[in-house]
Structure 1
Amino acid sequence: MNQPHNALIFVALDLVGGDAKAKDLLAKILECGEIVSISSVYKRYLTDARVDLNARMEFVIRFETVMSVDQCLHMVLSMCEQGSQGLSQKSHAELILLSYDNAILMSPRLTLPYPEMHTDPLIIRCAAEAWGQYEHPIFQKTLSEISRTAAPARMAEFYIQGKSLVDF
């Protein structure tokens, strides 16, 4: 049997209707491997007005799989959806492969670890919750150590426990 690989995947969905969408996405991800842990889910406001209609739910999962990094990237990209405006608005779903084992990659298709993982205060906090002991292969610090020095996530607040979205 192939050795399992560990990946961190960031998920952002429209807040309105997001709980059901998140459960569907996580069920699809479970078809490709195992969700080892999931961070808390945060509500990120996209405008200063802090209106739920203009907010996203965001979280990070730690995923164990026998898929290659290319297969994992393909799975992540296949689940992304660009929302469209108007009456038949399709919801927005953004997934980002943050890390895959200790891989360091720089290609037009994929950069690992994700270059903005440590610069976005909410993403680094969620990633540290999902896999705090992961050692960033470039900074040589754990995600817990990196998140302790991150700036506060100003436009975000706790929404729900991540484990409420998936049955472990």
Structure 2
Amino acid sequence: MNHDVYISLGSNLGNRKAYLQQAIEGIAMRVGTIVDIAPIYETPSWGFAGEAFLNTCLLSRTYLSPDEVMAQLLQIEHELGRERTPSKGYQSRTIDLDILFYDDRIINTELLTVPHPLLHRRKFVLKPLAAIDEHKEHPILKKTVAELLRTTDDTSPVQRLTDQLSFPAQKSPFLHYKYIAIEGNIGSGKTTLATKIAEDFNAKLILEQFSDNPFLPKFYENPKQYGFTLEMSFLTERYQQMRDQLAQMDLFKEFVVSDYDIFKSLIFSKITLTDDEFVLYRKLFYILYNQIIKPDLYVFLYQNTDRLIENIKKRGRDYEQNISPDYLKKIHYGYLDFIQKNTAINSLIIDVTDLDFVKYYTHYDFIIEKIREN
């Protein structure tokens, strides 16, 4: 899931604006997408005698946990020359990064307290925070940021500057692709990955519409009776969806990403149909397949059979629980056979057996880098 994290930034040493900008670049690289950046405010040092601070705030959208976000912020501070020494109290710093809010969560751990415990007492935090979202409610105090700003006991002057900070130039790793298909066996995570890529890189998302197919549960109960009906149903649905979705390109999206390629129809049908049924099905398939736009990149997510079965059990679809390991292996070999024989297709196989690209950003970044390098 995406999480909204509000982060305060401050600097009172050296080129203060440059440090703020470098921190923003680091947050975009290590934490998540930058959604909004507040103006810059200059304020006296708070809690100690020192040079004036430049302060701002930003909203980032991230997949990281609160502890992971904080760990990345500390690393950015370290790289920008700050060493935190709590025993010495407040002091001047090249950069200061704090989590103000993480969604609406209340967190009290040894590492982290969220919302920030002094947020409501610091005008240099509330001012830029209000510029981003004055209606954001404090989950403990039950007051909006605007209300906290009006009632704070901090009377220190806060001056808004005309200087502005820039959004990071986020170069997409998919600039040379117009259409990417994410494929894989049942339970491999293709839908999750396609959705994450679409959200993070401004892509049009096409998800396979299979959940309402009335023949799927019947097929798992009686494959011989419902095999041909199911495969024809899938083929017509996939063909119609791809034809309609790929013909209607979104001008505000960078590219298209889907969680399937229509060729999977032929892969699955070869396993589920009798020889005679498959011969007929293949003729009908190629009539439709030749009319469909092909992906510029075909990404196949490999997971071993044990991990696939584990994932299938976790997502809890009743009609999938009796899928046999032998059936999954046949599907796997069908995909590999397709990739090996269709050398004209730009294919990329990524082993995700030991990866959890939802829980760990580094795993997700590994996959993105593989696609970038392809």
TM-score (structure 1 length as normaliser): 0.80
Q: 1:26 aligns with which of 8, 24, 46?
A: 24
Shift of 1:159: 2.3
Map of 2:99 onto structure 1: 97
Shift of 1:153: 4.3
Please tell me the residue identity of whatever aligns with 1:6: D
Map of 2:41 onto structure 1: 42
Shift of 1:16: 3.9
Tell me how far apart the structure 2 counterparts of residues 60 and 167 of structure 1 sit (CA, whole Å): 13
Please tell me the residue identity of whatever aligns with 2:22: D
Map of 2:5 onto structure 1: 7
Q: Which of the pair has the greater relative contact order for Cα pairs under 8 Å at 6+ separation?
A: 1
Tell me how far apart the structure 1 counterparts of residues 14 and 162 of structure 2 sit (CA, whole Å): 14
Map of 1:126 onto structure 2: 128
Residue 103 of structure 1 contacts residue 137 of structure 1 at CA under 8 Å; is this kept in 2?
A: yes
Structure 1: gaps of 5 or more residues: 84-89
Tell me how far apart the structure 2 counterparts of residues 140 and 46 of structure 1 sit (CA, whole Å): 28
Question: What are the residue-to-residue correspondences of 1:98-113 with 2, within 5 Å?
Answer: 98-113=100-115
Map of 2:71 onto structure 1: 74
Paired residue secondary structure (1:96) = strand
Tell me how far apart the structure 2 counterparts of residues 160 and 75 of structure 1 sit (CA, whole Å): 29
1:59 to 2:56 alignment:
yes
1:115 to 2:112 alignment:
no
Identical-pair percentage: 23
Shift of 1:29: 0.9
Please tell me the residue identity of whatever aligns with 2:102: Y
Map of 2:239 onto structure 1: none
Map of 1:87 onto structure 2: none
Shift of 1:167: 2.9
Shift of 1:96: 0.7
Map of 2:268 onto structure 1: none
Tell me how far apart the structure 2 counterparts of residues 68 and 123 of structure 1 sit (CA, whole Å): 23
Map of 1:167 onto structure 2: 167
Tell me how far apart the structure 1 counterparts of residues 59 and 73 of structure 2 sit (CA, whole Å): 13
Deviation digits for residues 113-163 of structure 1, max 9, x if unmatched?
0010001122122222222222111112221222122246424322235xx
Tell me how far apart the structure 2 counterparts of residues 16 and 111 of structure 1 sit (CA, whole Å): 29
Tell me how far apart the structure 2 counterparts of residues 28 and 68 of structure 1 sit (CA, whole Å): 17
Higher strand share: 1
Higher helix share: 2
Deviation digits for residues 56-80 of structure 1, max 9, x if unmatched?
1111111111111111111112122
In structure 2, relative to structure 1, the CA distance for the partners of 1:126 and 1:151 (3 Å cut) is: farther
Residue 121 of structure 2 contacts residue 154 of structure 2 at CA under 8 Å; is this kept in 1?
A: no
Tell me how far apart the structure 2 counterparts of residues 118 and 155 of structure 1 sit (CA, whole Å): 16
Structure 2: gaps of 5 or more residues: 85-91, 169-374
Aligned residues: 154
Tell me how far apart the structure 2 counterparts of residues 95 and 105 of structure 1 sit (CA, whole Å): 17
Shift of 1:26: 0.8
TM-score (structure 2 length as normaliser): 0.38
Tell me how far apart the structure 2 counterparts of residues 9 and 38 of structure 1 sit (CA, whole Å): 10
Paired residue secondary structure (1:77) = helix
Tell me how far apart the structure 2 counterparts of residues 33 and 92 of structure 1 sit (CA, whole Å): 22
